[in-house]
Amino acid sequence: MSGKEMKYIQEAFDSNWIAPLGFNVDEFEKEFANYIGTKGAVAVSSGTAAIHLALSLLEVKRGDTVFCSTLTFVASANPILYQGAEPVFIDSEPNSWNMSPVALKKAFEDADRKGKLPKAVIIVQLYGQSAKMDELQSICNAYQVPIIEDAAESLGSKYKGKFSGTFGEYGIFSFNGNKIITTSGGGMLVSNHQEALNKARFLATQARDPAIHYQHSKLGFNYRLSNVLAGIGRGQLEVLDERIRRKREIFQTYEKELKKFSCISFLKELKDSFSNRWLTTLTINENQAGVTVEEILKAFEKENIEARPIWKPLHLQPLFKNIPYYPHHKDVSISEKIFSTGICLPSGTSMTEVDQNRVINCIERLLCHSH
């Protein structure tokens, strides 16, 4: 926490507005939309809820398909199943680790041939790095299929000067405890369609019709953010730029100290993009390194350092067995390669220099020892 949250939380308590309504919620939405440059925003209970609302607004239903990045957390695709629709997973490309325009084009060509285009495409901006939005957008536009941009991990990142989350029909953010700013649990749906956002607010508050009694003609959800948590979000938003600066600094330190090892490759910023560096991620050439990803993670664990593999691609998850998948090239699955060789290093903004040096020393010991 930044210490700036308490004044907003106190306001919520003083006004006795605790529930998912109140001044903090309204202000958090406004401040957030102003920051990223969209016409509006709806504060909800999670990023997953925001994706679910976006799919509902696009009337995705049973029998529909939705294209989705495969290299991501399961929450990107679960809401497709909530709607009874079927995901089709699209591989990554090597530069951004995000959706491959080559694979997307192939998926669209097949869908077009079958006369069954997807209702939406969920493009994830992974680890703070923007996807190749120009290419992806032009493919989606050619088929007139809307984009939902899952920017849960990339708040404050930019592509060609424009903020992540503002490219699609709808953008989604998450304020889960591990994100760059947090409301403990929470999310945001953003868009330039004011009318759609009003509809999202309606759906997120149990779709209650304007009547004095409780009347409902549509299926709704209980997805609004509490006024207390929105207060935390407002305090966090004040330090967002500082957090991004710190995240980038952490990345630069890792890169500077570890670039002497040719077996390590960091996820580079795409040309014309700016990453919030939510997590510092890298891949290891295991043959060259003489150690495996698993051995590195085990060595970290011994030192009480928490590190993780990269997300396991969704097309490999038991939940999504037999779901269609389009690799980057016929025999090349980039996401699987990244998953098997990738590591997320500790990147918390509260890390000290001493903490970070412990991580770096641990890697150095392993790599020098193995040669």
Is residue 189 within 8 Å of residue 223, measured between CB atoms? no
Strand partners, 325: 89
> Exposed (0-12), middle (13-18) or buried (19+): which is 364, by Cβ within 10 Å?
middle
The pLDDT assigned to 20 comes to 81
CA distance 310 to 153: 13
CA distance 308 to 143: 37
Helix, coil or strand: residue 291: coil
| Domains of the chain by start residue, with CATH | 5-240 (3.40.640.10), 241-369 (3.90.1150.10)
Strand partners, 120: 66
User: What is the per-residue burial (b if ≥16 Cβ within 10 Å, else e) of 277-310?
Assistant: bbbbbbbbebeebebebeebeebbeeeebebebb
At residue 116, φ and ψ (nearest 5 deg) are -140, 85
Maximal C-alpha separation, the chain? 75
Residue whose tokens read 């890792």: 254
The pLDDT assigned to 371 comes to 60
Residue whose tokens read 């664990």: 301
* 105 catalytic residue (yes or no): no
Which is nearest to 9 in space by CA: 241, 240, 233?
A: 233
Complete DSSP assignment for 168-205: SSEEEEE--TTSSS--SS-EEEEES-HHHHHHHHHHHB
Is residue 53 within 8 Å of residue 221, measured between CB atoms? yes
Helix, coil or strand: residue 303: coil
In this structure, the chain runs to a length of: 371
CA distance 229 to 188: 12
- Across the 371 residues of the chain, what is the mean pLDDT of every consecutive 10-residue run? 93 90 96 98 98 98 98 98 98 98 98 98 98 98 98 98 98 96 96 97 92 91 96 97 98 97 96 97 96 96 96 98 96 97 96 97 89 60
Q: Name the catalytic one among 106, 132, 179, 247.
A: 179
pTM: 0.96
**Residue 88, amino acid:** V
